[in-house]
Structure 1
């Protein structure tokens, strides 16, 4: 993964600053051994740890510029200059000439810093989709920043105090959603966001926002041809003329990337798949169908419970804050397989669901939204009294289903998407200690969801949900999962679906082309019907789900690790000991798959504490 870090507003000598920034850069290069390049001034410093064309630095007359990632200029004149003079220099010149507006001319996956020692001003920015992270913390008149909190907390100005609210939010979302981080006072830039720091004050702004164009009505064939062109160009761009591989789960996204990779590369794609010896979890057969269809050079690995035990401490340690998405484990083993095969970069299909309408909950929420179309007088005056007033209705299956439907449909969006949230199901007073609850706001997670939902520039339900998921599902969860799991394996990852042109194409698709009734990703599937195998088009979505709860029933080392972790968590006075005992005993025996998720989330929290 690599990254960048630095600061302004601290230091007396360049020698001292060099020591500090090189120490901060250590965590950024610990797995892939990336080359560390440093720019040092008297009141600040910058470092980029990256390989090849992912590191860009420039230093002239007190202006320090560092760019990490694969960034391009949209203006052809600037793009040509960047080839001749370097990305960082052209960015510096553009900053002097255009100021903040130069950021709107950038595309690609990047995090960057422009630091002016003469004025004390700093600009931090991340790309439109938040492919690469960048966090920061203020301390007096100083600013410390980095792509990983592990780098930031090594600076003398940083105060790595755990934020109780972020702990609560982690257990609600199974990750810490931005702009917050696990540390008090440390924030993370959101997708398409930049920060301007001057004279001890910081302000965040947007250089890009998703704008849905819902009124366009272009011919299907025209859309299809443009889509296919963008697929080829985005995969070609993500490959960067390197020998790359592709994740292959057997779903529509990964299968599409694998097929296009073979097409644009002029040779069979090298694909990598993970399987599980557990009923209902193994998707390998679909991956094999796609591999045969596209004649890929296919590689498989079956993750075992022993693999999970070995990976858990490593997965917890690679993340700079608690992270509870269990599919990070199979992602790691898949990336490790590609690394052992001699590759340095792998392509992921992430983003397809959030751009083209592929998550099951989109169809589910559409069905609930139909209830809102019934006139209120009929709902409140006839239907609800009849359904809820029926004597013994709870014992009648059809009436019981009607009650459940009405209850969920009556919850306003986006809270309706969280009606099955584990914290709400258990009850936060059942889970957390009284002392811990006194330090947090249990309503904050839903408030954050509602705030993001209100800010979406969309009228249709499907686009409102897509915008919400671009933030909470993609930028806060799936991208960090894949990026960090690949970093642990010493691999770089790229996401062709998150190409800026592809994102703009998605924004211009009519809502009914993303979700037609309850048909998920309607346009995507119809456009690729002659390209993908029929079995892939019609399969149910699954992915790299880990059968943790199932394996926990019988695998003793996994049981021991989980029990030891949760018992260790008891001493931190966050989660009630009684809840942990009940979870490991009664709950897990009742439904291993459902309650195993909470065991995993709590276990990874404790493991993260131990790896700090």
Structure 2
């Protein structure tokens, strides 16, 4: 687990000096405090390849496997192929055996060396052979090109920009911004998408001209032509016909092997344990696969509605883990500057705060932690899927159902707590007239289409591209074809919310503390299996994760299976009426914020007033606006 950065250029005037390359690399030192390395060559005549473009590769290392021999950048025998790599290739041992059988010679025991030798055989198609989480850069001197690739489910980030015949890349945006002359022009469409989703979705970036390589893609660039290729294309429309017993056995096999692969490490290893189903199953499987006591880590908060430690403690006792439990009082005033700096782009998922704390405290004990991310998307774990299924039933009633919802909406309150039953009922009724995909976006949006139109200043609307943010979700939604709407919602989450929000949150929070986080549910073999499962094996009696319970029900205490999903949050609602009220008002209504020309002052004032007076819980919206303004002050105004 590391940080990578670099550049490729043809024209001498576009050269990135070794000094700048080192600055790019050192900006990622938090991701890799154990070692660093750079490879820098100006354009030159390289026999027998002729004139070869310039290349700069930088690497910061967090040592996990082959502690003494895994230095990067790393080359093949004749130095015609070089690589820098962030992540882990979990099947590298089987790949190594195959490559050695084909005549390749290895000088290290690291997973990195498998990359250069497999590239020699497969070229850019090598990424489809990897089981892992990765962002990889490969310099191919023979073909005078650079190749970038990203793992299938977006566990590792990778930014890039093209400037004429030059390409710059980095694990984090801040690495690219170290290069003189890189523009920080804001993309208005990215702001529109951010206020819709609470993140800037790939391939967009908050800065115009910079991009995020989408998950499951690789690119090649030779100074003239950029080609972006999707190498992972599971068929979301194909549902397999499988018995419950066969599905159970296949799930057990795949999940067990996924955890086994992710226990490979030459450093101390543990697991996050929230007391929810997914993290608990990861820990239960770790226990079966290792002779040592599993180290588990949980974080708790003074507010009972945000504290899951009692459940985590119960699971830890049941499984006999070496349990570490931390109690913290989140300090938003202390945390905000750190989050704004490390996340690079505006990122409004407030659960980044507890994720930051648990990563920080876990790193005091281990270097690698397994987590349960991905189980909700793959096995229908979110409560919102209940609304999706109910809406589908109303759709079956046609105009009668929609008319009934419209009439019922008149008797439901417009304000009140965001998650109250009456408020959720009103939002459900409001959305019934929409198409299923548009309705789902309306439910998950921070600012839906109506609220964004009320928020935006006229001059900002004029700058927006003719692109609907819904297109990002809709392209994922349509991939399921004629399958049921709950499958559409969960698989859309798998390719949008999971990589852009959850994986971003975990990667940045963990790597800020040099902690590697591995996610067994995101083994691509397990994902491909779950993608094709019929929803009847995921959802029963109004609850998700039916197959998980059927396969692993005896491994956890019964009440863990029955408990309500809590999420991983902080008390924004209370903060914005108390200790953060002054900061919130002063920041959002400041002359600096208003002068940006994005928002209508009267709309922002209404949001603040309604929240202050407890008429409506606007905490998620206000947090998004606060993060956006503080982000500008950190990354644009400075």
| TM-score, normalised by the number of residues in structure 2 | 0.86
Question: 1: distance between equivalents of 2:450 and 2:631?
Answer: 23
Residues 565 and 416 (structure 1 numbering): CA distance in 2 closer, same or farther, change over 3 Å?
same
Question: 2: distance between equivalents of 1:584 and 1:213?
Answer: 44
Deviations 1:159-210 (A, max 9, x none): 2322111112111111101111111011111111111213422121111123
Q: 2:566 is matched with which residue: 542, 560, 567? A: 542
Question: 1: distance between equivalents of 2:355 and 2:245?
Answer: 36
Question: 2: distance between equivalents of 1:270 and 1:485?
Answer: 20
Q: What does residue 275 of structure 1 align with?
A: 300
Is 1:598 aligned to residue 615 of structure 2?
Answer: no
Q: What does residue 530 of structure 1 align with?
A: 554
Deviations 1:201-236 (A, max 9, x none): 212111112334854344434433332333333223
Question: 2: distance between equivalents of 1:473 and 1:361?
Answer: 13
Q: What does residue 300 of structure 1 align with?
A: 325
Matches within 5 A, 1:362-381: 362-374=385-397, 379-380=398-399
Q: What does residue 60 of structure 2 align with?
A: 49
Cα distance, 1:155 vs structure 2: 2.1
Is 1:315 aligned to residue 339 of structure 2?
Answer: yes
Cα distance, 1:8 vs structure 2: 1.0
Cα distance, 1:16 vs structure 2: 6.6
Instruction: Give unmatched runs, 5+ long, in structure 1.
Output: none
Compare 409-418 and 6-15 and name the one that shifted more.
6-15
Question: 2: distance between equivalents of 1:276 and 1:268?
Answer: 26
Is 1:438 aligned to residue 449 of structure 2?
Answer: no
Deviations 1:512-537 (A, max 9, x none): 11223633111112222111111110
| Structure with a larger share of its residues in helix | 1
Q: 2:285 is matched with which residue: 252, 260, 263? A: 260
Q: 1:244 is matched with which residue: 248, 260, 269? A: 269
Question: 2: distance between equivalents of 1:394 and 1:548?
Answer: 29
Is 1:7 aligned to residue 7 of structure 2?
Answer: yes
Q: 1:565 is matched with which residue: 563, 567, 587? A: 587
Cα distance, 1:474 vs structure 2: 0.6
Question: 2: distance between equivalents of 1:548 and 1:517?
Answer: 33
Matches within 5 A, 1:270-419: 270-305=295-330, 307-340=331-364, 342-374=365-397, 379-380=398-399, 394-395=410-411, 408-419=431-442
Question: 2: distance between equivalents of 1:213 and 1:222?
Answer: 21
Q: Is the 8 A contact 1:213 1:509 kept in 2?
A: no
Is 1:110 aligned to residue 134 of structure 2?
Answer: yes
Residues 293 and 97 (structure 1 numbering): CA distance in 2 closer, same or farther, change over 3 Å?
closer
Q: Is the 8 A contact 1:78 1:90 kept in 2?
A: no
Residues 297 and 83 (structure 1 numbering): CA distance in 2 closer, same or farther, change over 3 Å?
farther
Q: Is the 8 A contact 1:210 1:457 kept in 2?
A: no
Residues 371 and 442 (structure 1 numbering): CA distance in 2 closer, same or farther, change over 3 Å?
farther
Q: Is the 8 A contact 1:166 1:181 kept in 2?
A: yes
Q: What does residue 36 of structure 1 align with?
A: 36
Is 1:58 aligned to residue 75 of structure 2?
Answer: yes
Deviations 1:76-106 (A, max 9, x none): 7436578934555543344343333322212
Q: What does residue 520 of structure 2 align with?
A: 496
Question: 1: distance between equivalents of 2:276 and 2:402?
Answer: 40
Question: 1: distance between equivalents of 2:446 and 2:385?
Answer: 20
Q: Is the 8 A contact 1:214 1:511 kept in 2?
A: no
Question: 1: distance between equivalents of 2:424 and 2:174?
Answer: 49
Cα distance, 1:479 vs structure 2: 0.6
Residues 137 and 234 (structure 1 numbering): CA distance in 2 closer, same or farther, change over 3 Å?
same
Q: Is the 8 A contact 2:96 2:114 kept in 1?
A: no
Compare 103-112 and 23-32 and name the one that shifted more.
23-32
Question: 2: distance between equivalents of 1:360 and 1:80?
Answer: 49
Residues 405 and 118 (structure 1 numbering): CA distance in 2 closer, same or farther, change over 3 Å?
closer
Cα distance, 1:7 vs structure 2: 1.4
Q: What does residue 84 of structure 1 align with?
A: 106
Q: 1:132 is matched with which residue: 131, 153, 156? A: 156
Cα distance, 1:454 vs structure 2: 2.1
Q: Is the 8 A contact 1:432 1:575 kept in 2?
A: yes
| TM-score, normalised by the number of residues in structure 1 | 0.89
The SS at the match of 1:444 is: coil
Is 1:551 aligned to residue 562 of structure 2?
Answer: no
Q: Is the 8 A contact 1:366 1:518 kept in 2?
A: no
Q: 1:223 is matched with which residue: 242, 247, 257? A: 247
Residues 395 and 163 (structure 1 numbering): CA distance in 2 closer, same or farther, change over 3 Å?
closer
Residues 487 and 402 (structure 1 numbering): CA distance in 2 closer, same or farther, change over 3 Å?
closer
Deviations 1:446-477 (A, max 9, x none): 12221222234673333322221112211000
Is 1:427 aligned to residue 451 of structure 2?
Answer: yes
Question: 2: distance between equivalents of 1:479 and 1:384?
Answer: 37
Q: What does residue 194 of structure 1 align with?
A: 218
Give the count of matched residue pairs.
599
Q: What does residue 147 of structure 1 align with?
A: 171
Residues 332 and 61 (structure 1 numbering): CA distance in 2 closer, same or farther, change over 3 Å?
closer
